[in-house]
Amino acid sequence: MGKVYIGIDLGGTNIKIGLFDGDLHILKKTSVPTKADMGPDVVIGNMAEASLGLVADAGLKKSDIQAVGIGTPGPAAYSKGIIIKSTNMPTFKNVPIVQMLKDRLGAPIAFDNDANVACWGEYIAGAGKGVRDVVFFTLGTGIGGGVVCNGELVHGCAENGAELGHMIIYPDGRRCNCGQRGCVEAYASADSTARRAQEAVEQGRQSSLKKVLDKKGKITAKDVYEQVAAGDELAIEIAEGTAKALAITCVNMLHTTEPRRILFSGGMIAAGDILLEAINRHFQQQVWTLKKEDVEIRFATLGEDTGIVGAAALARHNYGPSK
């Protein structure tokens, strides 16, 4: 079989771990609770134990690990291997995660932001495969992003670049959780899409979403898109606003890095063609007419394995046999 790679996706609730061969085929995978409140030593210890468990289950030894990749929420000092702070893991402050994990697994560690790692996974093995320039968005509670230019991830001077959800598209617009106003995240994440719909219903707009709110006490993005499919006027208006915000962001990224493909991932893509067709339509309405653009706007394809595939792919990229 040869050497193997481990890909780790560290989340606030769960840690996903995958064991991969040199061609990035998944051999084994697992998920364990993060237990972030128990502190970094416990979390990283459990992470290493679960990783070694996968290795043993595959009939391999610790020495068979070529390298390990890990994606975590930022901000972090990635070249130094340190998590500076984490909203979802408040006990993680200036944690030298790379050294702690290396001590336990005995292999080199590739470390990056979770959205960058997911972007890399799609670039190497998903919907971005076969091109050199990709922009990637995750649509969930917030909006994350990653950028590959000429075959390399973009990090920026302080290693926390590609925060695509915090591009300002409507100056002096809605307040974002980051403190800015008018971020795309404040309009087009799953949470903000639901929030805009709920605000409209609470302000008296007529909609079938009122029944949803009365029954459940809240409206979700899934509810919005279900009512779009049913023809509800308000739901359609909200969904159009989400698509327009994302399309404007795509135009901005087109003129910034000129990607060949722009990919969307995350829970919101379950809306399917209702979302993707609207983004493409608004993109064509917003983009310049000076020349025809060849950029493709697509959904990502790796699904729930994006993080672990990307982490393993990054480990191979940084520490593969040819490195």
Could you give all domains of the chain from N- to C-terminal order, each with its CATH number?
4-121+311-319 (3.30.420.40), 129-301 (3.30.420.40)
What percent of the chain stands above pLDDT 90?
A: 91
Distances (CA, A) of 91 to 83, 88, 177: 11, 9, 21
Q: How does residue 2 score in pLDDT terms, banded at 50, 70 and 90?
A: confident
Nearby residues of 158 by Cβ (< 8 Å), 6 or more positions away: none
pLDDT at 68: 98
Question: Is 88 a residue whose pLDDT tops 70?
Answer: yes
Residue with tokens 């310049």: 288
Among 67, 260, 242, CA closest to 147: 260
8-50 residue pLDDT tens: 999 989 999 999 999 999 999 999 999 999 999 999 999 999 9
Nearby residues of 323 by Cβ (< 8 Å), 6 or more positions away: none
Count the alpha carbons within 13 Å of 150 in the hemisphere toward its beta carbon: 0
198-230 residue pLDDT tens: 999 999 999 999 999 999 999 999 999 999 999
248-292 residue pLDDT tens: 999 999 999 999 999 999 999 999 999 999 999 999 999 999 988
Give the span between the Cα atoms of 204 and 301, in whole angstroms.
39
Give the span between the Cα atoms of 18 and 1, in whole angstroms.
16
Give the span between the Cα atoms of 305 and 9, in whole angstroms.
9
| Residue 32, amino acid | V
Q: Which residues of 167-201 are buried (b: 16+ CB within 10 A; e: fewer)?
A: bebeeebbebbeebebbbbbbbbbbbbbbbbbebb
C-beta separation of 124 from 93 below 8 A:
no
Mean pLDDT score of the chain: 96
Residue with tokens 């060949």: 260
Question: Is 1 a residue whose pLDDT tops 80?
Answer: no
90-127 residue pLDDT tens: 899 999 999 999 999 999 999 999 999 999 999 999 99
Segments in 58-189 forming alpha helices (H): 97-105, 114-125, 185-188
Give the pTM. 0.94
DSSP string, 100-133: HHHHHH-S-EEEEEHHHHHHHHHHHHSTTTT-S-
Nearby residues of 314 by Cβ (< 8 Å), 6 or more positions away: 69, 71, 110, 112, 117, 120
